[in-house]
Amino acid sequence: MLYTSTRGQTDMVCSAHAITRGLADDGGLFVPQKFATLTLDEIVAMSELPYAERAAKILSFFLTDYTEEELLACTTAAYSEERFGGFAAPLKQVKDKIAVLELWHGPTSAFKDMALQLLPHLLMKAIEKTGEQNNIVILVATSGDTGKAALEGFADIKGTQIIVFYPDDGVSDIQKRQMITQQGSNVNVIAVHGNFDDAQSGVKEIFSDENLMEELKEKGYAFSSANSINWGRLAPQIVYYFSAYADAVKAGHIVAGEEINFSVPTGNFGDILAGYYAKCMGLPVHRLICASNTNNVLSVFLNSGKYDRRREFHKTISPSMDILISSNLERLLYQITEEDASKVANWMKELKEDGFYDVGGKFLAKIQKTFFGTWVDEIETKETICNVFRDKNYLLDPHTAVAWRACEKYRMLSSDEKYCIVLSTASPYKFNVSVLEAIKPDTSAKTLDPFAALHLLSDVSGTVVPKPLAELEQKPILHNEQIEKNKMKETVLKILKL
Ligand SMILES: *Cc1c(COP(=O)(O)O)cnc(C)c1O
C-alpha cells in the first residue's frame, strides 16, 4: 500500500517513509491510497484475540511494507499487560445501549498512549527499512497529554532524542508533575514562559528553518514529529473501533452486523477520523458524533460547512480539546471530495491566509451523512459527570463527559437510539480537581494540593487511583529548566551539543 499527500504535490511513498517523515513535503498529510475491507466474520473473530493481535491484524492492511512478525513484535511490546495493567481497551456497559470504551489504561492515563506506546516501535522499524542513518530527534510542543505520552513512548528508545516543550502556565499540576519526573537517558523536558501557542509556534519555526535542517543533517540528526498528523499515530487508533465492536457482539449487547454509533471527544480530529476509516473498512457504523467543548469550531463546521478559526480561544476543563485548528480534518476533506487534492490544497491555503473556508452544500451533505457535530458547555460537562456518577456509579473525566452529553443531545434531536459507544479519553484522576468540583462541590477542590485531591477523589468515588499517578508523589523531580519563548531554538542546539 502506498501513501499520497492530501495536497497532491509529492510522489507516493511506502508506509515506513510516511511514518519517518511525518508530514508530506508539500505541507499535506499522508493518506492511504485505498482501504481494505474486512468481512463481518473477520471483525467478530477479533473478540477471541489479545489486543496486540487485533492491532497487528488491522495494521497489516495499512503497513504492508512491514512483515506480520514485525507488526506483532511492535504491538506486543506496546500493549503489554504490564504497561496497560491488563487488556488495553476494555468496553464497559454503563447504561442500557450506552457503553464506554476506556482508552486510558496506559502509563500516562490518557488515550494518547494507545498510539504513542506503539509509534516508537513502528518508527524504529521504519528507520531500519528506509536506511535512515540519522539520529531521530522528536520535537514536541504539548498542552499536556501528548508530551507525557510521547516521553513515555520514546524514553530510552535507541537512536532517538526527545525534547518536550510545555507552557509554564498551560498544563495541570498533575500533567506537569508527570513530565518533570520523567526518567530516561534521551529525554528533555523544558518549561516555556508563555502559553501553548507560543510553544507550538516555536517548534513550528524550528521545523521550517531550512538552514538549521541542513546543518542538523550534516551532523547526523533528523527531526520527526509525534503529533497526530503522523500516520503512525493515526493508524493504531483505527484498531479500537473494531476491537470495541467485536467485544460488544461477544457480550451480546449487539448482534453481528447491527449498525451502531460512536461519540468521540474531539480536538485535532485524529481520534474520530480513525472511526471514519474503520467505517470505510466495513465496520457497521451509522453515525460518528463529534463532541466539542466551548471551542466549538468543529461543531459549527459540521452544521454549516464553514470552518472559521477567527474566534476567541477558551480555556476549559477539557483542555485537550481546546483547539482552533483541527489538523486531521484535512484528511476527511480529501476523502469526501473523492481525493480532489487541489480542492483540499485551496481550502488549506484559504484557512492560512484568510482564516476560513467554506466547503459548500454538496460536500457538507456528504459529511453529514456520517458526522453529527454538537458542543457542550462547562456547566453541562460538570452536570454530566455528576449525573452519571449519581445514577450509574461511573466516573467520567471532563473530556468523556463532553462526549456522553453529546450522545444524549444527538438522541434527543434525532430520535436515533442505536447502541452508542462513548470513547473515554482520560482517567478521571488526571483531571481530579474538575471532577471533584462536579461530584462534591462543597470540597473547594481547587485549594487542595494535587495529591490530596487524588486521594480525596478515591475516597469520594470508591475507585482506585491509577498506579502511575499514585506513584508520582514519590518520584524525584528531574527536569526544572525554564526558558523564555524566544530561546527554544538555542535550547535545542544546546541539547544536541551543536
Ligand atoms: C488528545 C485528546 C483528545 C482529542 O483527540 P483528537 O484526536 O485530537 O481529536 C480528547 N481527549 C483527551 C483526553 C485527549 O488527550
pLDDT tens digit sequence for 361-370: 999 999 999 9
pLDDT at 444 over 90: no
Contact 164, 188 (CB under 8 A): yes
Instruction: Report helix, strand or coil for 63.
Output: coil
143: Cβ below 6 Å to ligand 1? no
Query: 202 in helix, strand or coil?
Result: helix
Domain hosting residue 264, numbered range: 90-106+232-429
Q: How confident is the prediction for the chain on average, in pLDDT?
A: 94
- Ligand 1 pocket member 172 (CB < 6 A): no
Candidates 57, 112, 125, 409; catalytic one:
112
Interval between CA 264 and ligand 1 midpoint (Å):
9
The angle that helices 488-495 and 196-207 make with each other, rounded to 10 degrees, is 60
Number of domains in the chain: 1
pLDDT tier for residue 203 given thresholds of 50, 70 and 90: confident
Atom of ligand 1 nearest to the CA of 265: 10
Does the residue 457 lie in any domain?
Answer: no
From 231, 276, 425, 434, give the residue whose CB has the most ligand 1 atoms within 8 Å, as the site to mutate.
425
Helix (H) or strand (E) holding 436: helix 432-439
Which residue's alpha carbon is nearest to atom 14 within ligand 1? 320
Does 454 map to a domain?
no
Whether the model clears a pTM of 0.75, i.e. scores above it, the answer is yes
250 catalytic per annotation: no
Q: What is the pLDDT of residues 341-380, one digit of tens each?
A: 999 999 999 998 999 999 999 999 999 999 999 999 999 9
* 79 found inside a domain: no
Give the model's pLDDT for residue 342.
97
Residue linked to cell 508530506: 24
Q: Fill in the DSSP letter of residue 426.
A: B
Confidence of residue 301 (pLDDT cuts 50, 70, 90): very high
Among 238-242, 434-438, 440-444, 493-497, whose mean pLDDT is lowest?
Answer: 440-444
User: Does residue 215 form part of some domain?
Assistant: no
Q: How far is the CA of 343 from the centre of ligand 1 (A)?
A: 27
**Structural domain includes residue 189:** no
Q: Could you tell me which of 83, 89, 78 has the C-alpha nearest to residue 115?
A: 78
Give CA separation, 224 vs 119, 128, 136, 417, in Å: 12, 15, 7, 43
**Cα separation, 389 vs 90, whole angstroms:** 19
Residue 130 Cα, ligand 1 centroid: separation in angstroms?
A: 30
**Is ligand 1 within 6 A of the CB of residue 428?**
no
Dihedral-angle region of residue 410 (phi above 0 means left; psi in -120 to 50 means alpha; beta otherwise) = alpha
Position 155 in a domain: no
Is 382's pLDDT higher than 90?
A: yes
The answer to whether position 179 is within a domain reads no
| Least confident stretch, 28-37, 56-65, 193-202, 246-255 | 193-202
Between 10 and 41, where is the model more confident?
A: 41
Q: Residue 88: pLDDT band by 50, 70, 90 thresholds?
A: very high
Number of H helices, E strands in the chain: 23, 15
Q: Tell me how far the alpha carbon of residue 400 lies from the centroid of ligand 1, in angstroms.
A: 10
Q: Does 254 fall in a domain?
A: yes
Q: Is any ligand 1 atom within 6 A of the Cβ of residue 190?
A: no
* Residues across the chain: 498
How far, in Å, from the CA of 425 to the mean position of ligand 1?
A: 7
Paired with 99 in beta bridges are: 93, 421
The CATH number assigned to the domain holding 391 equals 3.40.50.1100
